[in-house]
Amino acid sequence: MSLREVGPRDGLQNEDPVPTAAKVALLDALSTTGLRRIEAVSFVHPRAIPQMADADEVWAAARREPGVRYSALVPNSRGAARALAAGFTDIEVVVSASDTHNRRNVNRSTTESLDDITAMIEQVHDAGGSVEVIVATSFGCPYEGNIAPERVAGIVRRVLADGADRIAYGDTTGMATPRRVRDLFDAVPPPTWVPTLLHFHNTRGTALANIVTALGLGVVEFDASVGGLGGCPYAPGASGNVATEEVVHMLDDMGIETGVDLDKLLDAARLAQKIVGRDLPSGVLKAGPRVPR
């Protein structure tokens, strides 16, 4: 089982901007929990996401823990060039299955983004890096409603043909349910030749159920965000991601090894809560583990 922590990027991008030093402190705390993948920053125009305007400064100051793979999210080829220049080799790029959401998110149609991703994959590969393509709104869109799994399948076929190294499916506004997870993978079975990851929001309280469903379908990689931080600035109602400590707590009780120290993770969640200055939605953060530790 592999978890990617997305709190430092996806979590903080939906909050009021926090100081660079606080971002570095959270990133460093998460690096000591046993997590093996962390999404550190995004390289996006500061007018679009001012919360990520200091991405270069955060990454320059962060402690790089051996054995942890750090990645950066980019919206386009220009962002990929910045990420590569900063030293990242694991690059993520997002494209929405919903054309309306894609225009709100990156001011392009889905087709225009896919054309840019084709060039970006070559750009990153030439620099010795890898590209993960995240298909946002895979399970529904707040503007367009249900998204046909076949539309998602078409996007996946395109980016795999273009050489994408990894595929991820984003539940951008928490519209996924176990049924929708099964429907998606009926149309797009997890490829055996590239890793597949799922990114669930807990907007409607179904994220853990969706993870259990996906586990039964053979998926073993998931995103999660410390404390349940997160959301999407361009999607109404996109509340926080599933909390990393809730996922670890559940998987530990199921006997599924994550390699993550829950106590250290809860310390990081408390730090995140202090940084943003409000109570975070994580139930495990509020109530503690089911059995006192």
pLDDT at 230: 84
Which domains are present in the chain?
A: 2-287 (3.20.20.70)
Is the Cβ–Cβ distance between 82 and 42 less than 8 Å?
Answer: no
Would you please indicate which residues are annotated as catalytic (active-site) residues?
232
Query: Which contiguous run of DSSP H or E holds residue 161?
Result: helix 149-161
The residue type at 58: V
Q: 223-255, pLDDT tens digit by residue? A: 999 999 986 655 555 568 999 999 999 999 999
* Residues forming beta bridges with residue 70, ordered by sequence position: 38
Angle at 240 between CA 214 and CA 1, to 5 degrees: 35
pLDDT at 237: 55
Q: 15-51, pLDDT tens digit by residue? A: 999 999 999 999 999 999 999 999 999 999 999 899 9
pLDDT at 201: 95
pLDDT at 231: 67
Is the Cβ–Cβ distance between 137 and 96 less than 8 Å?
Answer: yes
Q: What are the CA-CA distances from residue 43 to residues 35, 39, 99, 170 (Å)?
A: 22, 12, 22, 19
pLDDT at 234: 56
Considering the entire predicted model, what is its pTM? 0.95
pLDDT at 190: 74
Name the DSSP class of 223: E
Q: What are the CA-CA distances from residue 254 to residues 3, 62, 143, 248 (Å)?
A: 15, 33, 37, 10
Residue 70's nearest CA partner among 13, 124, 9, 125 is 9
pLDDT at 152: 97
Q: What is the mean pLDDT of each run of 10 residues along the chain (293 residues)?
A: 96 94 98 98 94 97 97 96 98 97 93 97 98 97 96 96 97 95 92 89 96 96 96 62 97 97 98 96 96 80
